[in-house]
Chain A
Amino acid sequence: MADDNNQDQQEKDVSRRKFLRNSGIAVGGLAVGGVVGSLIPWGTTDNDRNQVKNQTANQKGKNYNHALMYLTKAEFQTVEAATERIFPKDDRGPGAKDLGVPYYIDHQLAGSYGFNARDYMEPPFYHGEKVQGYQGRLKRREIFRIGLRELDNQSQQKHKKKFKDLTDEQMDKMLQGFEGDKIKLSTVSPSGFFELLRSMTLEGLYSDPLYGGNINMDAWRMRNYPGDQMGYMDVIEKDFQKIEPSSLRDHM
């Protein structure tokens, strides 16, 4: 396994050198363009290569990234159940749960996105028109937690069970109720919560695996998305090409 990866790495170094030659960028006197300098940090030195090797060895064991930063274990299970309904496992490949989407969501809620760090959150708060966008005072992590609790409350009321213990059909019905604002809540907007859940599921599926989801780039592979490549100079004029994905980690 480790050896395989090492070979991968060597192939990448070769292809980078080839890339440099082909693109004709390494010609003299190109002072301003960025690519010449950019090649140095990309795993071309022995030092960098050793670092990559060590990281690979670490990853062979447990994935220490998969632990919770914000959600409780019970909440996490609700997220697993709900995201899997949004993107279920089927014969094309894994679903949200196996792709690590719930970890992605937990980690995002724990960080600046959960705190709306780059949003304008100054008062006064007024109820606005739909075209004016979100006008609430709650932060995403708060909306998310309240939304999860409401999911459970609603399923207790209706089915005397926790959300995660419902049948697939019951879960879908419940989520549709939130999506279409068919249930009334006094806390958060049901459709607002659903939209957050849905958009974060897509993010967790398809963002670079460095964020905790898209494990092993399998979500990219499922849709023939090549991830982070140096470029598509050789591909752009051609018919459809299937390309083995690569990630930002290969840029280290």
Chain B
Amino acid sequence: MAKKMPKTDVVIVGVGWGGGIIASELTKKGLQVVGLEKGEERHTEDYYMVHDELRYAVRKELMQDLSKETLTFRSNEKMRALPMRQYGSFLLGEGLGGAGVHWNGQAFRFLPYDFEIRSKTIDRYGKDKIPADMTIQDWGITYDELEPYFDQFEKMAGISGEENPLGGKRSDKYPTGPMKHSKQMDLFKKATENLKYHPYTIPSANLSENYTNPDGIARSACQYCSFCERFGCEYGAKADPVVTVIPVANKTGKFDLRTHSWVRRIVHKGGKATGVLYTDTTTGEEIEQPADIVVVTSYVFNNVKLLLNSKVGRPYDPATGNGVIGKNYAYQVIKGAATGFFKDQEFNNFAGAGALGMAIDDFNGDNFDHSDLNFIHGGYLALTQPGARPIENNPIPKGSPTWGADFKKNSLEYVNKTLSVGAMGASMPYKHHYLDLDPTYKDTFGDPLIRMTFDFEDQDSELAKFTASKASEILKEMGADQIDSMDELGPYDITTYQSTHNTGGVIMGADPDSSAVNNYSQMWDMDNVFVVGASAFAHNSGYNPTGTVGAMAYRASEGILKYNKNGGMLV
């Protein structure tokens, strides 16, 4: 028998960016909120020994402990899904702040095109442009509707940037100016301008200057320490939930944060959630937390896992295309990149910040003509400079030995003479890419793991080849003496890091038949459950996801407040 806690207005499952934003917005308005986080509590003081590549970047100390929970993966339904036993392709957050603690801070907005991708593609190219099994759909919200929430997120986090000349319309400028420019970035800027493209400084959650946000949270400027990506910021300069929204929620006295609390079920009765069931991981005790409203913000994989294990919503059936929970899993295509070697120029490649870099959007979204191309969408091309760490960055020319005397010579020679131009390629959903429960493998509490069925498609290969050729062209203009570029994307491989930009599974839309949540992230099938995060993306754009996740979390907060007053479906 589970111990029963007193009822609360709202219970939040997972306290990362999504959970943190919602906690701060709701408690500010007086709601009583319980935040359940399966990992540990964190503070900035935890990061004084953080400049340690081995411990954090290679061994992944801040990430989810896979011995307790992972997922299984297969490329297609004919294959046996097997557990991701070790980290590779993406890194899952765990603990207070979630992956928001060890993200880079590249904080983009998706394009207007993204939210109406199906209609806009058909309008411009006709229905035949979309392959039969590609399941793109409009999101039931437009960029203009979401714009105020983007603005809200950017002001809370203090995003440093300059206007993207090819982006959606902005109601206001970025709250802080762009990051400093390194030599490499200047070189990229000049080259892309020569090529008549439209470079801009990547919008960054690493503050370019000291900043106080509208909640009164003051943070200091980034020191370009280069231990950002995969690390926590010891200066509090990188916006993360622990230094921005969580203190705001705590200050209200309305936020009851419980770490080491692993949520296993949404409890429901007669089509309404009544609360959640969780396990205290320190004692093994089972506890029920009753609540009027349940908000699920536990990242893509656990969002889907929790709904399926709790039998909330209609599971997706890939054979018929019916059902929605698990549908439209998508990812990112970032291997379409190129590397340039410079004989006579040396750069401070060791220095940097998580979100330092320059990008162009000339080949993103529908900013260019796809009539003669075998793919839709695209991605931004960028030179980023998070700081090249020595274990994981040993650039050598393609085909040269990877160990031995020549490896040593090359890797020492090129380490500061190599620059890469990469692409953040969009990933389109397919009927046969989805998440469901694994029939064999279990987590540490005996619940089925989530199972991923996913592979790269022709669309992805074509897109990657295209962005790789553009990346080479830019490096050539930058003056590289030798350029190595990707020539074949190959199959999706879970063992090599690509990005932690997993999307879909609880997608947003205007129609309850084809989507799981409405544009307030409210579930069509259970109106007092809100599921927030990149799980709501019906496809993945050519950008990093968190700016859009943040905007959606602000909108969801508004919806929850409305629901708390009036109840019912918000749309």
A33 touches B220 (CB 8 A): yes
Q: Given A117-B67, A126-B82, A206-B391, do A236 and B351 touch, yes or no (CB 8 Å)? A: yes
Q: 1/0 per residue B233-263: CB within 8 Å of A?
A: 1111100000100010000000000000000
Return the chain B residue nearest A91 by Cβ: B409
A229 touches B225 (CB 8 A): yes
A251 touches B48 (CB 8 A): yes
CA distance A31 to B219 in the complex (A): 8
B246 to chain A: closest CB distance in Å? 10
- The residue that B394 contacts in the complex, of A90, A202, A207, with Cβ under 8 A, is A202
CA distance A202 to B54 in the complex (A): 10
B243 touches A118 (CB 8 A): no
- The residue that A131 contacts in the complex, of B80, B219, B495, with Cβ under 8 A, is B495
B54 touches A207 (CB 8 A): yes
Note all chain B residues with C-beta closer than 8 A to A132: 73-74, 82, 84, 494-495
| Main DSSP-derived SS at the B contact region | loop
The answer, yes or no, to whether A230 is at the interface (CB within 8 Å) is: yes
Q: 1/0 per residue A211-243: CB within 8 Å of B?
A: 100000001101111111111110111111100
A232 touches B226 (CB 8 A): yes
B394 touches A23 (CB 8 A): no
The answer, yes or no, to whether A52 is at the interface (CB within 8 Å) is: no
Note all chain A residues with C-beta closer than 8 A to B220: 23-25, 30, 33, 35
B224 touches A232 (CB 8 A): yes
Max chain A CB contacts within 10 Å: which of B51, B58, B356? B51
Note all chain B residues with C-beta closer than 8 A to A35: 220, 234-237
CA distance A126 to B81 in the complex (A): 10
Max chain A CB contacts within 10 Å: which of B221, B222, B387? B221
Note all chain A residues with C-beta closer than 8 A to B47: 34
The answer, yes or no, to whether B416 is at the interface (CB within 8 Å) is: yes
Given contacts A128-B82, A228-B227, A232-B350, 19 further A-B contacts (CB under 8 A): A23-B220, A35-B234, A41-B48, A113-B59, A120-B85, A131-B494, A132-B74, A135-B82, A201-B403, A206-B53, A208-B51, A219-B390, A223-B390, A231-B222, A231-B224, A232-B223, A239-B183, A240-B416, A248-B49
- A-B contacts, 14 of them at CB < 8 A, read A25-B220, A32-B247, A33-B219, A35-B236, A90-B409, A120-B66, A121-B67, A121-B85, A133-B86, A198-B402, A207-B54, A220-B390, A228-B52, A228-B227
CA distance A240 to B440 in the complex (A): 54
Max chain B CB contacts within 10 Å: which of A25, A33, A231? A33
CA distance A44 to B312 in the complex (A): 56
CA distance A237 to B210 in the complex (A): 19
The answer, yes or no, to whether A27 is at the interface (CB within 8 Å) is: yes
The answer, yes or no, to whether B348 is at the interface (CB within 8 Å) is: yes
B residues 379-424 touching A (CB-CB < 8 Å): 387, 390-391, 394, 402-405, 407-409, 411-412, 415-416
B224 touches A131 (CB 8 A): no
A235 touches B348 (CB 8 A): yes
A residues 162-207 touching B (CB-CB < 8 Å): 172, 175, 198, 201-203, 205-207
Q: Report B's interface with A, CB cutoff 8 A.
A: 44-45, 47-49, 51-54, 58-60, 65-67, 70, 73-75, 79-80, 82-86, 88, 180-183, 210, 217-227, 233-237, 243, 247, 346-348, 350-352, 356, 387, 390-391, 394, 402-405, 407-409, 411-412, 415-416, 440-442, 491-495
- The residue that B348 contacts in the complex, of A122, A205, A236, with Cβ under 8 A, is A236
- The residue that B44 contacts in the complex, of A34, A201, A241, with Cβ under 8 A, is A34
- The residue that A133 contacts in the complex, of B84, B226, B407, with Cβ under 8 A, is B84
Q: Given A86-B403, A120-B66, do A30 and B83 touch, yes or no (CB 8 Å)? A: no
The answer, yes or no, to whether A61 is at the interface (CB within 8 Å) is: no
- The residue that B67 contacts in the complex, of A118, A175, A233, with Cβ under 8 A, is A118
CA distance A38 to B45 in the complex (A): 7
A235 touches B210 (CB 8 A): no
CA distance A30 to B234 in the complex (A): 14
Return the chain B residue nearest A36 by Cβ: B220
CA distance A42 to B387 in the complex (A): 23
Note all chain A residues with C-beta closer than 8 A to B73: 132
B225 touches A230 (CB 8 A): yes
Note all chain A residues with C-beta closer than 8 A to B53: 206-208
CA distance A206 to B411 in the complex (A): 12
Q: Given A38-B44, A131-B75, A248-B49, do A92 and B82 touch, yes or no (CB 8 Å)? A: no
Note all chain A residues with C-beta closer than 8 A to B224: 231-233, 235-236
Q: Given A126-B80, A133-B495, do A222 and B412 touch, yes or no (CB 8 Å)? A: yes
Q: Given A35-B234, A120-B85, A122-B83, do A130 and B180 touch, yes or no (CB 8 Å)? A: no
A29 to chain B: closest CB distance in Å? 6
CA distance A175 to B356 in the complex (A): 40
Q: Given A113-B59, A207-B53, do A118 and B65 touch, yes or no (CB 8 Å)? A: yes
Note all chain B residues with C-beta closer than 8 A to A206: 53, 390-391
Q: 1/0 per residue A73-98: CB within 8 Å of B?
A: 00000000000011110101001000
Q: Given A25-B220, A90-B409, A228-B51, do A236 and B182 touch, yes or no (CB 8 Å)? A: yes
Return the chain B residue nearest A211 by Cβ: B54
B332 to chain A: closest CB distance in Å? 16
